[in-house]
């Protein structure tokens, strides 16, 4: 294949390569690319290596499955928007369906469309205002506990561990509101399910009937999870609390024929919202702390904004829009460390992407983490610089070059909820503590479905 290097050194296909087979590493019968199996330990390094070598469309074969990885904004737009009907959530989402059932995240076609319009109002402004109050209340309780633990002295925390605990507390309360007497069993069942689905997302998952230790544990966890969630649904139906929780909104939602969602669908949506919305937000906060390493000016600017706008008070929903610098830091964090580094689709019919042939049945992987560092769209792509998200610069950028929440009709339904949550919690932390971040260069991003840190991120909180 003939390739032309662009100014940035990223090959794009020459006209003669149109419709040709995409480049990629050598593939062996049955095994495919043996490095992919090793790469499964850190998919990010593996995919990054091929991206640098082969360019914005490349092919890898993993145990008989052909996968096309795409990183150019034009191709992302094709797959997620203009020709999205050809790129569906097929076999790629099979392991997620075992846990989530048929929900917003896993459904396709008309059923998905109906479910999305039913759920969408739960994320409109009015609902977000109510959810913001829950976030603020849980944030204050959690940070109060940290302040007590610190006894007025500097307290070292592992940012990842504590942010996961904090967002777990927020999401459980945002989902279940007053219907839940949040018992340790509930937390445990939900936490264990999350762990299993995240780990399953990265490996080769054997069918559910194969009695591997993973499958046995998963089946036990799912049974416990179902018991807990159905119990909460039943209680919420009985008590009919309009407490602003996502569960109360789902229970009162009606389709165009006036029909409510059956319990099974509510169960699937509740577990999906929990899993999709919990770790991702924790990771944004975690990486934000890690990226502050060596950035005293950014930290000072965040603190200045919080002090000026909030004067020591916790933020309301309306305050979030008054903290534009915090928003820029959050956006830049998700550019360099997107909590969801990629999504997967299955091609229905043959097609062409970036001049390369797509075969029906191919898995296609929009690789957001690469697009976010693409030198043709981001000057000095590896530099942490929140000012890139200054509205003036932002407007001139290709809108398909930054997709932390994906894009098109299947864009993350919780995107604004997550931004509001991240900014409220961040402002609450800055209100209460001075932060010291030690050198974090050794902590690498590891792609495990989500983008996790390779080790602890020790941050010292000193009460102000
Ligand atoms: C930083 C935080 C978050 C990130 C990075 C993120 C990222 C994403 C991405 C990339 C998708 C597309 C998945 C695909 O097409 O396969 C998605 C979909 C989704 N997300 Fe999020 N998400 C976040 C927070 C949340 C929150 C807080 C919720 C809910 C409480 C949520 C609920 C969902 C749901 C239900 C979908 C499926 C939407 C559909 O297909 O109609 N997410 N998210």
Measured by CA distance, the residue closest to atom 6 of ligand 1 is 405
Q: Ligand 1, closest atom to CA 115? A: 41
**Token pair for 393:** 């610069």
Q: What is the pLDDT of residue 225?
A: 80
3-state SS assignment for residue 188: helix
Whole-angstrom distance, CA of residue 225 vs CA of residue 391 = 43
Residue ranges of domains in the chain, CATH in brackets: 3-463 (1.10.630.10)
Task: Give the residue from 368, 321, 444 showing the smallest Cα distance to 73.
Answer: 368
Task: Give the residue from 36, 53, 1, 11 showing the smallest Cα distance to 363.
Answer: 36
Q: What is the pLDDT of residue 179?
A: 63
Strands 65-70 and 363-366 come out as parallel
Q: Is the CB of 282 under 6 A from ligand 1?
A: no
Whole-angstrom distance, CA of residue 74 vs CA of residue 82 = 10
Q: Ligand 1, closest atom to CA 417? A: 27
User: How far away, in angstroms, is 276 Cα from ligand 1 center?
Assistant: 6
Whole-angstrom distance, CA of residue 364 vs CA of residue 375 = 22
Task: Give the residue from 426, 400, 420, 421 showing the smallest Cα distance to 411.
Answer: 400
Q: Which residues of the chain have pLDDT under 50?
A: 1-17, 201-206
Q: What is the pLDDT of residue 131?
A: 92
- CB within 8 A of 307, min separation 6: which ones? none
User: How far away, in angstroms, is 450 Cα from ligand 1 center?
Assistant: 11
Q: What is the pLDDT of residue 168?
A: 86
User: How far away, in angstroms, is 231 Cα from ligand 1 center?
Assistant: 25
Whole-angstrom distance, CA of residue 218 vs CA of residue 9 = 45
| From 173, 273, 414, mutation site for ligand 1 pocket: most ligand atoms within 8 A of C-beta | 414
**What is the helix (H) or strand (E) element at residue 26, kind and residue range?**
none
- CB within 8 A of 129, min separation 6: which ones? 317
Pair 274, 190: CB distance under 8 Å? yes
Whole-angstrom distance, CA of residue 392 vs CA of residue 309 = 22
Q: How many CA atoms lie within 13 Å of 73's alpha carbon, on the beta-carbon side?
A: 15
Q: Is the CB of 123 under 6 A from ligand 1?
A: no
User: How far away, in angstroms, is 105 Cα from ligand 1 center?
Assistant: 8
How far CA 321 is from CA of 236, 258, 289, 423, in Å, comes to 33, 35, 21, 9
Q: Is the CB of 280 under 6 A from ligand 1?
A: yes
Pair 226, 154: CB distance under 8 Å? no
Pair 70, 342: CB distance under 8 Å? no
Cα separation of the two ends of the chain: 61
Q: In this structure, what are the phi and psi dihedrals at residue 70, rounded to the nearest 5 degrees?
A: -125, 140
User: How far away, in angstroms, is 33 Cα from ligand 1 center?
Assistant: 30
Query: Considering the entire predicted model, what is its pTM?
Result: 0.91
Task: Give the residue from 384, 402, 380 showing the smallest Cα distance to 440.
Answer: 384
DSSP 28: B
Q: Largest Cα–Cα distance in the chain?
A: 69
Q: Is the CB of 341 under 6 A from ligand 1?
A: no
In DSSP terms, 451 is beta-bridged to 447
Q: What is the pLDDT of residue 217?
A: 72
Q: Ligand 1, closest atom to CA 116? A: 41
Q: What is the pLDDT of residue 6?
A: 37
Pair 58, 362: CB distance under 8 Å? no
Whole-angstrom distance, CA of residue 46 vs CA of residue 204 = 16
Q: What is the pLDDT of residue 17?
A: 43
Q: Is the CB of 333 under 6 A from ligand 1?
A: no
Q: Is the CB of 273 under 6 A from ligand 1?
A: yes
Pair 196, 214: CB distance under 8 Å? yes
Task: Give the residue from 384, 395, 182, 370 showing the smallest Cα distance to 292.
Answer: 384
For the segment 122-168, what is each residue's pLDDT rounded down to a tens digit? 899 989 999 999 999 999 999 999 999 999 999 999 999 999 989 98
Q: Is the CB of 418 under 6 A from ligand 1?
A: yes
Measured by CA distance, the residue closest to atom 24 of ligand 1 is 277
Angle of CA points 347, 349, 351, to nearest 5°: 85
- Sheet-wide strand order for 87-88: 57-62, 65-70, 363-366, 345-347, 87-88
Q: Is the CB of 116 under 6 A from ligand 1?
A: yes
| From 190, 198, 276, 341, mutation site for ligand 1 pocket: most ligand atoms within 8 A of C-beta | 276
User: How far away, in angstroms, is 187 Cα from ligand 1 center?
Assistant: 21
Whole-angstrom distance, CA of residue 197 vs CA of residue 332 = 27
Q: What is the pLDDT of residue 41?
A: 64
**Token pair for 385:** 């610089």
């Amino acid at each position: 294949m003939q390739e032309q290097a662009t100014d940035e050194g990223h090959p794009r296909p020459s006209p003669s390569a149109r419709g040709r087979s995409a480049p990629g590493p050598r593939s062996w019968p049955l095994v495919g690319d043996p490095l992919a199996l090793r790469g499964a330990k850190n998919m990010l390094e593996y995919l990054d290596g091929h991206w640098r070598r082969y360019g914005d469309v490349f092919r890898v074969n993993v145990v008989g499955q052909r996968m096309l990885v795409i990183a150019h904004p034009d191709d992302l737009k094709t797959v997620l928007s203009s020709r999205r009907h050809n790129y569906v959530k097929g076999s790629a989402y099979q392991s997620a369906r075992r846990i989530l059932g048929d929900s917003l995240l896993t459904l396709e076609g008309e059923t998905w469309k109906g479910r999305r319009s039913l759920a969408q109002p739960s994320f409109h402004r009015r609902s977000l205002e109510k959810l913001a109050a829950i976030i603020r209340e849980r944030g204050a309780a959690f940070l109060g506990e940290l302040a007590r633990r610190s006894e007025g002295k500097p307290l070292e925390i592992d940012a990842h561990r504590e942010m996961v605990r904090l967002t777990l507390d927020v999401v459980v309360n945002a989902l279940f509101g007053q219907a839940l007497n949040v018992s340790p069993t509930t937390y445990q069942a939900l936490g264990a399910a999350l762990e299993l689905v995240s780990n399953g997302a990265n490996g080769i998952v054997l069918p559910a009937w194969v009695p591997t230790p993973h499958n046995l544990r998963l089946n036990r966890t799912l049974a416990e999870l179902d018991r807990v969630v159905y119990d909460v649904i039943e209680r919420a139906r009985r008590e009919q609390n309009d407490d602003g929780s996502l569960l109360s909104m789902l229970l009162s939602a009606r389709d165009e024929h006036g029909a409510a969602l059956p319990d099974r669908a509510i169960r699937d949506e509740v577990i999906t919202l929990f899993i999709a919305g919990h770790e991702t937000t924790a990771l944004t906060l975690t990486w934000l702390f890690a990226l502050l390493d060596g950035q005293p000016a950014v930290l000072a600017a965040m603190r200045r904004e919080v002090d000026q706008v909030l004067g020591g008070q916790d933020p309301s929903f309306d305050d979030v829009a008054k903290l534009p610098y915090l928003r820029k830091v959050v956006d830049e964090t998700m550019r360099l460390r997107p909590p969801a580094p990629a999504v997967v689709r299955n091609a229905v019919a043959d097609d062409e992407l970036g001049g390369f042939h797509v075969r029906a049945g191919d898995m296609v992987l929009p690789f957001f983490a690469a697009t976010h560092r693409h030198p043709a769209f981001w000057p000095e792509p590896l530099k942490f610089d929140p000012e890139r998200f200054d509205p003036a610069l932002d407007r001139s950028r290709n809108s398909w070059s930054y997709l932390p929440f994906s894009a098109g009709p299947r864009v993350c339904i919780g995107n604004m909820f997550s931004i509001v949550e991240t900014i409220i919690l961040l402002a609450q932390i800055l209100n209460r503590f001075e932060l010291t971040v030690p050198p974090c260069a050794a902590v690498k991003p590891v792609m495990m479905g989500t983008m996790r840190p390779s080790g602890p991120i020790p941050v010292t909180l000193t009460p102000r």
